Structure 1
């Protein structure tokens, strides 16, 4: 639980502006991992130079960070949140488990640069996300999704 508390101490700025931070995270994801942009069909054709001004990209990032905020605030008691998330991401979106690792990296970097999440906090975020990703993987396995 300490890891959740460490991350939540820097979550305030993100929560205050999910759209801003969501856009930053998505842009970081697509910049650091260009192939990730192909995983989002509606974003695949957007030129890198146009990502920053794209409201749909920022909105998608905001939705992602809001869900992450729910997971963080559950402090490990996230089964009721993870199950439907994993189900939709397996059945509808076909999101690989590795993709969650990439978004974790982007979130850590943006929070480190813009929200004051220091190195220890970024390590805590990675541990928290490892647990969440593992739990998503359990649901994926139950559904027969290789993820």
Structure 2
């Protein structure tokens, strides 16, 4: 690096203040679920690698636009702050202490419960019996 005599020193970036950090934390990170028509060879590559490259000028149909952090749709929360760091209970179905407990169904009065056999879910026995491999 060369120094120029008499030149002012380069400006150092200033660290963000607490208010700026809070504004950044409350900002939405918008992402788009998209649909792109591709050829069979590109589809095969995308399936194998999990990504692919498109050519310039490819039109992309947006299926949904939502925030990556709070997972809420753009049209619902575009003017609001992101609530992912504040309160994320909406992702788990609300406040767990306020939700009703699951009801266990009662068998009919004339029903008799018969214990079933033991199902082997691990090991070679499970593989041979078809428990651990997908049905074709």
Q: TM-score, normalised by structure 2?
A: 0.22
More helix by share: 1
When Rg is computed on C-alpha atoms for both structures, the one with the higher figure is 2
More strand by share: 2
